């Protein structure tokens, strides 16, 4: 008996992590008090993740709305700096994410490392977009009259993002980064089966100068959390990447109530391929401003 005790004392008992949601810059448990078992690809228990409720979703909307003014009003340069800071933090925590992605997706350490590196690079790619997208999709319009006429893109507002179910980290970042790079705020629903990389990303965001509420991470049953978000009058857009066809249709119908911008699920064969700009433009509005130019020295008033 005493021998056995000695032996276990020599083996260090690891410290499990209690995974929490990330809402409004804080790490709450689900208000419902529910958790669900997250297992690795082979079915081994990894952690108990919070199982978010409708109330958690609504709290996340409040946080995202509150953060929208500041984030959308920040300079594009500033947003780029902050997003790049996230990439720096991710790089420093690479080991943790490799571990989590390997477990979540049943990948070898080296395959998981490739995924994580591609993810960090993806984040850097979007960090560089913040102050370029306006020039690429906006510009002056040569109207037939004495007017200055300029179109600029603006973020649409609060965006609910259903992260892809299969790609727990690269897929997640590929749908989240474009939403916030352009000044929207986001409520992201992590992959239902593999939520741990997403919940850990929340910890990275919290230490990366990203203002609280800009990104809110919920884990749980995708369909349960997405339904109130799709129907929410203060959500402006929804990305259905993580919804199957049946759920997507249901959510799209609910989203019509306040004419949310909807990005329908689009088959992605390879998340590592360089994206286009469509995930950014899907959540941008074009604002066009007119002003008379008048004519110097002319008589008559063309104000």
Rg of the chain over all Cα atoms, to the nearest angstrom? 22
- Is 303 a binder of another protein (CB under 8 A)? yes
Minimum CB distance to another protein, residue 286 (Å): 5
Stretch that binds another protein, among 77-85, 175-183, 209-217, 253-261 (CB under 8 A): 253-261
Give the residue, chosen from 14, 274, 299, 301, that forms a contact with another protein under the rule CB under 8 A: 301
What is the x/- site pattern for another protein, positions 255-284, by CB under 8 A?
xxxxx-x--x-x---------x-x--x---
Give the residue, chosen from 102, 161, 248, 280, that forms a contact with another protein under the rule CB under 8 A: 248
- Is 143 a binder of another protein (CB under 8 A)? yes
Give the residue, chosen from 137, 206, 223, 227, that forms a contact with another protein under the rule CB under 8 A: 137
**Quick one: 97 or 283, whose CB is closer to another protein?**
283
Give the residue, chosen from 18, 75, 207, 288, that forms a contact with another protein under the rule CB under 8 A: 288
DSSP-derived letter for residue 159 is E
CA distance 59 to 64: 9
SS3 154: strand
**Quick one: 18 or 293, whose CB is closer to another protein?**
293
- Is 226 a binder of another protein (CB under 8 A)? no
Class of residue 5 by CB neighbours under 10 A (exposed 0-12, middle 13-18, buried 19+): exposed
- Is 151 a binder of another protein (CB under 8 A)? yes
SS3 241: coil
CA distance 241 to 229: 14
Task: HSE, CB side, 13 Å, CA atoms: give it for residue 165.
Answer: 13
- Main-chain dihedrals φ then ψ at residue 50, nearest 5 degrees: -65, 140
CA distance 167 to 297: 63
- Is 156 a binder of another protein (CB under 8 A)? yes
DSSP-derived letter for residue 256 is G
- Is 236 a binder of another protein (CB under 8 A)? yes
Give the residue, chosen from 1, 13, 15, 144, that forms a contact with another protein under the rule CB under 8 A: 144
Number of residues in contact with another protein under rule CB under 8 A: 38
**Quick one: 215 or 284, whose CB is closer to another protein?**
284
Do 87 and 120 contact (CB within 8 A), yes or no? yes
- Is 295 a binder of another protein (CB under 8 A)? no
- Is 245 a binder of another protein (CB under 8 A)? yes
- Is 41 a binder of another protein (CB under 8 A)? no
80 Cβ neighbours under 8 A, 6+ residues apart: 127, 128, 129, 130, 131
Q: What is the per-residue burial (b if ≥16 Cβ within 10 Å, else e) of 154-170?
A: ebbbbbbbbbbbebbbb
- Is 66 a binder of another protein (CB under 8 A)? no
Please name the helix (run of DSSP H) or strand (run of DSSP E) that holds residue 238, with its range, or none: strand 237-239
Q: 272, 277, 87, 280: which is closest to 180 by C-alpha?
A: 280
**Quick one: 61 or 87, whose CB is closer to another protein?**
61
Minimum CB distance to another protein, residue 150 (Å): 9
Give residues in contact with another protein (CB under 8 A): 136-137, 141-145, 147, 149, 151, 156, 236, 245, 248-249, 252-253, 255-259, 261, 264, 266, 276, 278, 281, 285-292, 301, 303
């Amino acid at each position: 008996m005493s021998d056995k005790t000695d032996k276990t004392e020599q083996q260090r008992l690891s410290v499990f992590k209690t995974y929490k949601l990330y809402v409004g810059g804080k790490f709450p448990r689900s208000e419902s008090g529910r958790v669900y078992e997250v297992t690795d690809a082979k079915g081994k228990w990894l952690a108990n993740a919070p199982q978010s409720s409708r109330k958690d979703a609504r709290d996340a909307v409040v946080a995202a709305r509150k953060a929208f003014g500041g984030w959308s009003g920040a300079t594009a340069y500033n947003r780029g700096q902050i997003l790049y800071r996230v990439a720096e933090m991710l790089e420093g925590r690479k080991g943790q994410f490799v571990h989590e992605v390997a477990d979540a997706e049943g990948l070898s350490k080296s395959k998981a490392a490739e995924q994580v590196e591609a993810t960090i690079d993806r984040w850097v790619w979007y960090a560089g977009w913040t102050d370029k997208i306006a020039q690429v999709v906006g510009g002056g319009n040569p109207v037939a009259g004495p007017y200055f006429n300029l179109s600029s893109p603006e973020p649409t507002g609060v965006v609910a993002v259903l992260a892809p179910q299969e790609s727990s980290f690269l897929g997640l970042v590929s749908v989240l980064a474009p939403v916030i790079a352009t000044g929207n705020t986001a409520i992201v629903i992590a992959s239902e089966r593999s939520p741990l990389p997403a919940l850990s990303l929340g910890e990275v965001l919290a230490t990366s100068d990203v203002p609280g509420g800009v990104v809110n991470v919920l884990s749980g049953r995708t369909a349960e959390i997405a339904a109130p978000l799709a129907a929410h009058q203060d959500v402006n857009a929804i990305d259905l990447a993580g919804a199957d066809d049946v759920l997507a249709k249901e959510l799209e119908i609910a989203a019509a109530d306040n004419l949310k911008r909807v990005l329908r699920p689009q088959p992605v064969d390879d998340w590592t391929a360089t994206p286009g700009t469509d995930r950014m433009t899907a959540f941008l509005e074009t604002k066009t401003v007119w002003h008379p130019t008048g004519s110097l020295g002319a008589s008559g008033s063309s104000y």
